[in-house]
Amino acid sequence: MENTSKESFKVKLTEFFERHDPSKVFLVPKIADKFPDQQAEVFSHLNELYVEKKGNTPVSEKSVFSVIPPPHQGAEPV
């Protein structure tokens, strides 16, 4: 998945949460602000939380934000 504009990301997140957990739609702006360059990782993480578990376990706000950051890219400090 290629990163899209922040507004498009928000629309996709809103659609996801409206389908899987409407009580978490309020998190959309926070998620879009925190992970603008990790859109694929965010949706992969959300799919693991909601789709693959088929809603058997309540999902906390903390778990929604537990997307693993990408590995450090660039030169290591000397």
Query: What string of pLDDT tens digits covers the 78 residues of the chain?
Result: 567 898 999 999 999 999 989 999 999 999 999 999 999 999 999 998 887 766 566 777 788 777 665 555 555 555
Query: In whole angstroms, what is the distance from residue 15 CA to residue 33 CA?
Result: 17
The helix or strand, by DSSP H or E, that contains position 11, with its residue range, turns out to be helix 6-20
Indicate the pTM of the whole model.
Answer: 0.73
Q: What is the pLDDT of residue 62?
A: 80
Q: What is the pLDDT of residue 76?
A: 52
Q: Is residue 63 packed enough to be buried (19+ CB in 10 Å), middle (13-18) or exposed (0-12)?
A: middle
Q: What is the pLDDT of residue 2?
A: 65
Q: What is the pLDDT of residue 61?
A: 73
